[in-house]
Structure 1
Amino acid sequence: MIGRHSLTKALMLWISGIITLVWVLAVGLGALVMQEEFGEIFDSSLQETAERLVPLVIDELFQRDDLAEPRRIMASRAGSDEEYLTYQVRDQRGRVLLHSHAASANPFDTPLIAGFSDGPTGRTYTAAAVSNTIFVQVRDSAEHRREALLEGVLALLLPILLVVPVTIAAVWVVLRRILAPVDTLRSAIGRKDGGNLTAIDELDLPEELRPILNSVNLLLSRLRAVLAAEREFTSNSAHELRTPLAGALAQTQLLLLELKDGPAAGRARQIEKSLQGLTRLAEKLLQLARAEAGIGINEGTFDVADVIDMVIADFRGTAAGARLRLEKENEGTLVQLGSADAFAIALRNLIENALLYGRPDQPVLVRVSRDGTVRIQNGFPALAATELVTLRQRFARGDTSAAGSGLGLSIAERLLAQMQAELVLSSPIPGRDDGFQAEIIFAKPGVGHGADTCPGAAATT
């Protein structure tokens, strides 16, 4: 499965990483330059100090009578033992004649050769005097040089703690502003679903995003055209299929009148029964085809109460319609988004199933709550959860001998889904030990609920 990622987060990570990497590289190059420059500065200091010490040392040695023991030069500042530069004055045999306050009386591990030399503890400059008989050696420690370089690098690194977070925050603000049109377009496209295929309104988008908006609107236009063509085709097919079936059934019924109780009357009644079953199956298949064509996808609204009243009135004219009971918690309007025709087909299928499969000695109750939820309840032995799942499948029927095609629930569920409504099946009925309930729950509340009765009141017909 392809993982999801955020464009903003990816840009933030890449930009932040590149900025940090560039800064670190800059600090590294700066450290190399500083090391070179510091080396030149320290070397110049060593050489200058040694050359300045030579005449002073010569005068000091000429004034001394005893050169057998090395003489220690005391520190010029009271209380300070730290010296960045140490020096020794040695003769041609390597003996230490003079040494600085912090220098050891032991000779430096440096040859008596004029110039620079490196040792394990530091860098030394040797200056020769008096025909190479007196040598002045000045040394600075390697630790001092490392400390100076480290402090310089830290001085460059510390701004990262401030610059990088500020840069990241600035990049985030800029990215949010630049990518705001992308979020606007994404939200507009995200609002399009099976019940809303209208073109996206003109948006204030940059030139790079306008082709996407035009392509999406073109796609929505083609979808609307395809769905309209499918609806027209299924409507025409329904009419063309009903007509010959109705003609064949009428001819069979006329034949039954002519045959009366003759030997062929039984076969004619069987033909009539088969044609009636075929007519019902064709009606369900055409309803299913209309549902597949998306007749429930509609940007309009309808009154749930009006559609229920119309469907109940149609059933009143049938023998089974006498078992219907209608209860309303609200006598006002219950406006919902969707197609009135699609809702009527779904409701008719659910009521037909309740009348067909419910116990004939118990009524079928249609309840309408104040929020527009519709519940169809009928008497029936309690079903297991697995049976409720099976009933949702096409051509699936429960343990019953009643006539039916097993398509009613599938048609109703498909049409209601297109109107963003959910079909919930329950058995037994909540609060009872038996019964079967089909509950229609609209995802979005009605946009125009009226209230002609007081809260909690119920009207029963």
Structure 2
Amino acid sequence: MTGPAPQSGKPHASAFRPKSLAGQLMLWITVITTCLWLVAVGFGALVMQDEFGEIFDSALQETAERLVPLVIDDLNRRDDLNAPRRIERSPAQPGEEYLTYQVRDRAGRVLLHSHTASAEPFDVPLRVGFRDGARGRVYTAATADGSIFVQVEDSAEERREAMLEGALALLLPVLLIVPVTVLAVWFVVRRVLRPVETLRAAIGEKDGGNLAAIAAAGLPQELQPILRSVNLLLARLRAALAAEREFTANSAHELRTPIAGALAQTQLLTAELKDGPTRARARQIEASLQKLTKLTEKLLQLARAEAGIGVSDTTFDLVDVLGVVVTDFQRASDAASRIRFRNDLAGPALREGTADAFAIVLRNLVENALLHGRADEPVEIHLTETGIVSIRNGAPVLSEAELGAVRKRFSRGRTLAAGSGLGLSIAERLLAQMRASLVLTSPIAGRVDGFQADIVFPAAH
């Protein structure tokens, strides 16, 4: 059994995952739109602050100038001007006073003041015009002879409150507009980029052997050159694969014929010779030719695998191909009695690829099991309920390093049996073209030894 793989110091693959184009568009449009709205609110608040200042100043000045004649009339009716007089508020007008005022003489004494104003003089000089005091802004008006001054003050806190309420009045609609803008941007971006997503998905399907041209329906003008280039590339790839398959098929015929002829002539020569060194050499030649025949067969299978014979948009039935291959081994193999086949799958099992390619995979795996497995133990071929094809044979336990090594071309495990070291490489190459994987396990689950090869296809849609 194998333990968890040691973690390397390299960053996880998800750290390099490409960013979504739609996500980036939505993010940047949302950020830019929000910033523009906030800048607009900021400029609006500045303009509003300036306008509010003019309105408040105008109210201060108008109030002070209107109070001057009224104050003069009231002072003329009074006999005692030594003590400041407080103007009481009318009970019919409750509430907060936004403006306070004081009436002062030339010496600065407070003669009159409003209900909430202090009897202490405002901390501004007796000069006509606007001044900023400790508690707010003050406007000073005077009589024509300059003997009486009326100072009206509005609270700085009231100005700040008015400014804050005005800014919030501008900001609150923005807080509602921004989410609506985000939703609108999301809807528009998804709708506009839908053809890009469709083209991406169509191109993504081509990694599994589907080399058919992509339909151009509904694609915008900007994507048409990409589609034409992809379809042209697919057409060239189909033509290249067809040429390689044709060359491989012709090569197989041309190579088998002379080798078979040489082997037959050698066998006839061996039969005609008497026992001796010459006949022994003839038998060595015959054995070498038989080994060359098997190696040539494997190389041709490898060439066919490299040519992509497993790449196809057609399907085949696992059960049918397994039945044919197992029957061939039981009829033609010298170790037919060792083969045990069990099918736990009810009904057909259709998978993408070609039956010819899958048959080559099965033959290589079964040949390896017969050749390298213990001669006194059976080779079990099991089609599970989930469609996994398992091939088991008795063998010494292989380490993780040895399991990785036997996958390489011309690499063989700890065995004295004849072989080329290409069987597993051919099988793995063809299975990859059919979107399947080859899982090697040693020891077999539930045992202390053995070797198991599992063919795992992706889940059927």
- TM-score normalised by the chain length of structure 2: 0.90
Give the superposed CA RMSD: 2.3
Provide the secondary structure at the position in 1 that maps to 2:101. strand
Quick check: 2:397–2:443 contact (8 Å CA) kept in 1? yes
Name the structure 2 match of 1:158.
Answer: 172
The within-5 A match list for 1:383-402 is: 383-402=398-417
CA apart distance, 1:45: 1.0
Name the structure 2 match of 1:279.
Answer: 293
Q: Structure 1 residues 362-371 or 271-280, which shifts more?
A: 362-371
The within-5 A match list for 1:140-289 is: 140-289=154-303
CA apart distance, 1:21: 1.1
Name the structure 1 match of 2:441.
Answer: 426
Provide the secondary structure at the position in 2 that maps to 1:393. coil
Alignment partner of 1:51 is 2:65: yes
Name the structure 2 match of 1:458.
Answer: none
Alignment partner of 1:350 is 2:365: yes
Instruction: For 1:70 and 1:333, locate their aligned partners in 2 and report how far apart those are by CA, in whole Å.
Output: 110
CA apart distance, 1:370: 4.8
Alignment partner of 1:307 is 2:331: no
Cα–Cα, structure 1 residues 435 and 32, in superposed 2: closer, same or farther, change >3 Å? closer
CA apart distance, 1:349: 0.8
Provide the secondary structure at the position in 2 that maps to 1:104. coil
Q: Identity rate of aligned residues, in percent?
A: 67
Alignment partner of 1:380 is 2:401: no
Name the structure 1 match of 2:379.
Answer: 364
Equivalent residue for 1:16, pick from 30, 40, 58: 30
Instruction: For 1:26 and 1:58, locate their aligned partners in 2 and report how far apart those are by CA, in whole Å.
Output: 48
Alignment partner of 1:336 is 2:348: no
Instruction: For 1:15 and 1:402, locate their aligned partners in 2 and report how far apart those are by CA, in whole Å.
Output: 68
Cα–Cα, structure 1 residues 339 and 106, in superposed 2: closer, same or farther, change >3 Å? same
Give the gaps of 5 or more residues in structure 2: 1-14
Equivalent residue for 1:127, pick from 141, 160, 166: 141
CA apart distance, 1:324: 2.8
CA apart distance, 1:78: 5.7
What are the Cα deviations for residues 341-371 of structure 1, in whole angstroms up to 9, with x where unaligned? 1111111111111121122233333333455
Quick check: 2:122–2:133 contact (8 Å CA) kept in 1? no
Name the structure 2 match of 1:442.
Answer: 457
CA apart distance, 1:96: 1.4
Equivalent residue for 2:423, pick from 408, 412, 415: 408
Quick check: 2:263–2:286 contact (8 Å CA) kept in 1? yes
Instruction: For 1:79 and 1:229, locate their aligned partners in 2 and report how far apart those are by CA, in whole Å.
Output: 102
Name the structure 2 match of 1:294.
Answer: 308
- TM-score normalised by the chain length of structure 1: 0.90
Quick check: 1:81–1:102 contact (8 Å CA) kept in 2? no
CA apart distance, 1:156: 0.8
CA apart distance, 1:407: 0.9
Cα–Cα, structure 1 residues 74 and 395, in superposed 2: closer, same or farther, change >3 Å? same
Name the structure 2 match of 1:91.
Answer: 105
CA apart distance, 1:67: 1.2
Provide the secondary structure at the position in 2 that maps to 1:117. strand
What are the Cα deviations for residues 251-307 of structure 1, in whole angstroms up to 9, with x where unaligned? 333332343223222223222222222222222122112111111111122233332
CA apart distance, 1:3: 4.1
Instruction: For 1:37 and 1:430, locate their aligned partners in 2 and report how far apart those are by CA, in whole Å.
Output: 85
Quick check: 2:22–2:189 contact (8 Å CA) kept in 1? yes
What are the Cα deviations for residues 134-164 of structure 1, in whole angstroms up to 9, with x where unaligned? 1111121222222211111111111222221
CA apart distance, 1:219: 1.9
Cα–Cα, structure 1 residues 327 and 151, in superposed 2: closer, same or farther, change >3 Å? closer
Instruction: For 2:41 and 2:242, locate their aligned partners in 1 and report how far apart those are by CA, in whole Å.
Output: 67
Alignment partner of 1:61 is 2:75: yes
Aligned residues: 446
Q: Structure 1 residues 270-279 or 70-79, which shifts more?
A: 70-79
Quick check: 1:334–1:371 contact (8 Å CA) kept in 2? no
Give the gaps of 5 or more residues in structure 1: 448-461
Q: Which AA in structure 1 matches 2:139?
A: Y
